[in-house]
């Protein structure tokens, strides 16, 4: 599928009655790409999805699909005329219809509906289950049926509203990868809504981080993690801590962990107080280091262990070490910073160190 613009939101404002739920949202999605609206509960991501679907009117701005304005103030193209598919959180399958009949429901008038339903069953790896009823399927299988039903009419855009939230963690992880493969194999464009960062990164090409009705950043997962534009994005994406420092030059910061030099330059003057982001993979075990930290907590993750550390000053950090090196809580260890990137923001508040984990929601 050619890499052309499919969905375009321009300065979108929408909400309920006089309340503005989302404000000045602008983003675009190319054909064949999968986007994600990510953020804590109540941030506006579902309202934005409903506006794209045509379920909510637009107060300001516009929504364009394949070059056609489908929503603007005073005009909302009916949802059934948008050629947009929808996969809901609760699957919304018809209990009295078989799996094949559920899939074919949206193409009942199509002369090839049985063939298409059979193809969709094979696509979602349920080829032998067409005659079963929804209650005879597992949660993951029901979600595959919902996906197949949404894909059967060949929508221009597929919307998925928290599609995996009713599933257990391992099934969510597996199914999110499967859904991406299915959508990519068909060249289907999609927008996913979730509050789960791992899910967003596994499925999406572009991710938008929402906060209080505003879009903080629309970018690739890589850039969101390594080049967050705001402190909120830095705190919401990934783990880590902010450490107070002082700019020595455009790419060098003095901190209590030593002088840290990164791969990007800032325009702040030397002496400017900054909060620098340190991820767990920025801290490495260094037995001979003069910089000591006490282990105050640990979480075994299998291949690695996440340690919660405290410096003598009271500053907290997190570090990710290979799990074969098993350190005990209360042990003092040598550490050093091994960060080849520099993520910093003008210092906020009067607290020298602020845990990102404490500010992260969802």
pLDDT at 200 > cutoff 80: yes
Instruction: Express each pLDDT in 141-196 by its tens digit.
Output: 999 999 999 999 999 999 999 988 888 888 888 889 999 999 999 999 999 999 99
Q: How far apart are CA 307 and CA 212, in angstroms?
A: 32
Residue 3 is predicted with a pLDDT of 67
Give the residue extent of every domain in the chain: 5-83+155-226, 239-359
pLDDT at 357 > cutoff 70: no
Fold of the domain spanning 5-83+155-226: Rossmann fold (3.40.50)
Residue 349 is predicted with a pLDDT of 64
pLDDT at 1 > cutoff 60: no
Q: How far apart are CA 177 and CA 122, in angstroms?
A: 17
Residue 274 is predicted with a pLDDT of 95
Contact 158, 188 (CB under 8 A): yes
Q: How far apart are CA 197 and CA 201, in angstroms?
A: 6
The two structure tokens encoding residue 314: 């009271």
- Phi, psi (rounded to 5 degrees) for 107: -125, 35
Contact 170, 164 (CB under 8 A): no
pLDDT at 344 > cutoff 60: yes
The two structure tokens encoding residue 144: 């595959």
pLDDT over 70 percentage in the chain: 95
pLDDT at 8 > cutoff 80: yes
Mean pLDDT, the chain, rounded, equals 91
Instruction: Express each pLDDT in 219-228 by its tens digit.
Output: 999 999 989 9
Whole-model pTM over 0.75: yes
Residue 171 is predicted with a pLDDT of 86
Q: How many residues does the chain have?
A: 362
For the chain, the first-to-last Cα distance in angstroms comes to 35
pLDDT at 137 > cutoff 70: yes
pLDDT over 90 percentage in the chain: 79
* SS3 sequence of 34-71: EEEEECCCCCCHHHHHHHHHCCCCCCEEEEEECCEEEE
Q: How far apart are CA 195 and CA 347, in angstroms?
A: 27
Residue 220 is predicted with a pLDDT of 97
Burial class (CB in 10 A: 0-12, 13-18, 19+), 185: exposed
User: Which strand (E) or helix (H) includes residue 283?
Assistant: strand 283-285
pLDDT at 355 > cutoff 60: no
Burial 74-88 (b: 16+ CB within 10 A, else e): eebbeeeebebbbbe
Q: How far apart are CA 86 and CA 158, in angstroms?
A: 6
* Residue 90 pLDDT grade (very low, low, confident, very high; cuts 50, 70, 90): confident
* SS3 of residue 54 by DSSP: coil
Contact 255, 243 (CB under 8 A): yes
Contacts of residue 243, Cβ cutoff 8 Å, sequence gap at least 6: 255, 256, 257, 275, 276, 278, 315, 317, 352, 353
Instruction: Express each pLDDT in 288-313 by its tens digit.
Output: 999 999 999 999 999 999 999 999 99
The least confident of 46-60, 123-137, 341-355 is: 341-355
Contact 239, 280 (CB under 8 A): yes
pLDDT: is 158 or 263 the higher one? 158
Contact 23, 214 (CB under 8 A): yes
pLDDT at 121 > cutoff 50: yes
Instruction: Express each pLDDT in 201-252 by its tens digit.
Output: 999 999 999 999 999 999 999 999 989 999 999 989 988 899 999 999 998 9
């Amino acid at each position: 599928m050619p890499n052309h613009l499919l969905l375009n939101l321009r300065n979108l404002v929408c909400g309920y009655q006089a309340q503005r739920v989302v404000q000045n949202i602008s983003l675009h999605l190319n054909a064949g790409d999968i986007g994600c609206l990510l953020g804590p509960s109540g941030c506006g991501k579902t309202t934005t999805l409903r506006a794209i679907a045509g379920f909510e009117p637009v107060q300001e701005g516009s929504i364009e699909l394949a070059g056609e304005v489908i929503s603007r103030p005073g005009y909302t193209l009916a949802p059934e005329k948008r050629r947009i598919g929808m996969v809901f959180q609760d699957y919304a399958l018809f209990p009295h219809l078989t799996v094949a009949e559920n899939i074919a429901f949206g193409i009942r008038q199509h002369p090839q509906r049985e063939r298409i339903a059979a193809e969709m069953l094979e696509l979602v790896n349920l080829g032998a289950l067409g005659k079963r009823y929804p209650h005879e399927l597992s949660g993951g299988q029901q979600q595959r049926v919902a996906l197949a039903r949404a894909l059967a009419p060949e929508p221009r855009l597929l919307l998925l509203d928290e599609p995996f939230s009713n599933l257990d963690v391992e099934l969510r992880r597996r199914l999110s990868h499967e859904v991406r493969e299915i959508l990519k194999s068909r060249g289907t464009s999609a927008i996913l809504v979730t509050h789960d960062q791992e899910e967003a990164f596994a499925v999406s090409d572009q991710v938008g981080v929402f906060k209080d009705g505003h879009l903080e950043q629309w970018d690739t997962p890589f850039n969101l993690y390594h080049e967050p534009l705001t402190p909120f994005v830095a705190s919401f994406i990934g783990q880590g801590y902010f450490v107070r420092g002082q700019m020595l030059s455009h790419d060098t910061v003095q901190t209590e962990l030593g002088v840290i030099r990164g791969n990007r330059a800032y325009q702040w003057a030397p002496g400017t107080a900054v909060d620098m982001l340190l991820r767990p993979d920025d801290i490495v075990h260094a037995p001979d280091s003069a910089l000591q930290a006490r282990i105050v907590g640990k979480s075994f993750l299998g291949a690695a262990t996440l340690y919660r550390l405290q410096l003598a000053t009271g500053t907290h950090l997190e570090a990710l070490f290979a799990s074969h090196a098993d350190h005990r809580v209360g042990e003092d260890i040598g550490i050093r910073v091994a960060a080849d990137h520099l993520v910093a923001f003008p210092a906020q508040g009067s607290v020298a160190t602020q845990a990102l984990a404490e500010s992260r929601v969802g």
